[in-house]
């Protein structure tokens, strides 16, 4: 059983958190601008899978270790920053090694080498200790110890959040793709979009360390 009042409060708070601009939305929009709506959707799925992983960690208590251990937290933090920095550097590198686009062509997506965007988004989410602490600090507030198993309630709310946030991410993707469509009509601008995307990834890495 789930307390209905707690559920409504959870949905309201989750909506505000999901809508508010943040690192996840920045990653989402960067992929959508650089590689199109499909890449944006893959990113959204990746973030949802990352939320499932964090739910599992919260339920089994691994997230509590991050909260209690400075070494563990710092290790995951630097791994996440290094991964984002790697994505940024590789994205920038591709823009300087790929051939200049043909002005007569109007590609719909970036000409850079495609990678597994869903996996990138999932790992970005999983290797963000701030997200892990969000799950262990935010979700337990809506657990009613007088009802069913607290473990069940943690799992329920933890899995509900990515499901609830996913359509909001899709809204970002839809409007982001509409905005980016103009730039895709001008092939020369695509390289600069890719370069900005690389800089966004590096900025996210720096933000993770702050």
For residues 41 and 22, what is the distance between their CA atoms, to the nearest angstrom? Answer: 17
The pLDDT, as a whole number, for residue 131 is 85
Closest by CA to 122, choosing from 89, 95, 87, is 87
User: So what's the pLDDT on residue 113?
Assistant: 45
Helix (H, G, I), strand (E, B) or coil at 185: coil
Query: Which ranges of the chain have pLDDT less than 70?
Result: 97-115, 184-190
pTM for this model (two decimals): 0.76
Residue 159 confidence (pLDDT): 92
Q: What was the pLDDT predicted at 108?
A: 39
Q: Assign residue 90 a region: left if phi > 0, alpha if psi is -120 to 50, beta otherwise? A: alpha
Residue 12 is predicted with a pLDDT of: 92
Q: By the 8 A CB rule, do 32 and 180 touch?
A: yes
CA 177-18-48 angle, to 5 degrees, is 75
DSSP 8-state assignment for residue 133: H
């Amino acid at each position: 059983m789930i307390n209905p009042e707690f559920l409504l409060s959870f949905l309201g708070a989750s909506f505000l958190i999901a809508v508010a601009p943040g690192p996840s939305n920045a990653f989402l929009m960067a992929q959508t601008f650089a590689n199109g709506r499909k890449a944006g959707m893959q990113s959204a799925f990746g973030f949802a899978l990352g939320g499932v992983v964090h739910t599992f960690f919260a339920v089994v208590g691994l997230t509590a270790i991050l909260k209690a251990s400075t070494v563990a937290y710092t290790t995951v933090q630097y791994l996440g920053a290094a991964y984002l920095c790697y994505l940024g550097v590789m994205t920038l590198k591709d823009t300087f090694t790929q051939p200049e686009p043909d002005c007569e062509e109007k590609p719909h997506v970036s000409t850079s080498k495609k990678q597994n965007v869903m996996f990138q988004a999932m790992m970005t989410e999983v290797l963000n200790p701030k997200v892990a602490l969000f799950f262990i600090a935010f979700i337990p507030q809506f657990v009613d110890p007088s009802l069913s198993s607290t473990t069940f309630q943690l799992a329920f709310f933890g899995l509900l959040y990515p499901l609830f946030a996913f359509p909001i991410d899709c809204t970002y993707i839809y409007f982001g793709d509409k905005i980016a469509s103009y730039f895709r009509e001008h092939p020369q601008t695509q390289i600069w979009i890719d370069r900005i995307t690389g800089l966004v990834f590096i900025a996210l890495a720096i933000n993770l360390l702050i």
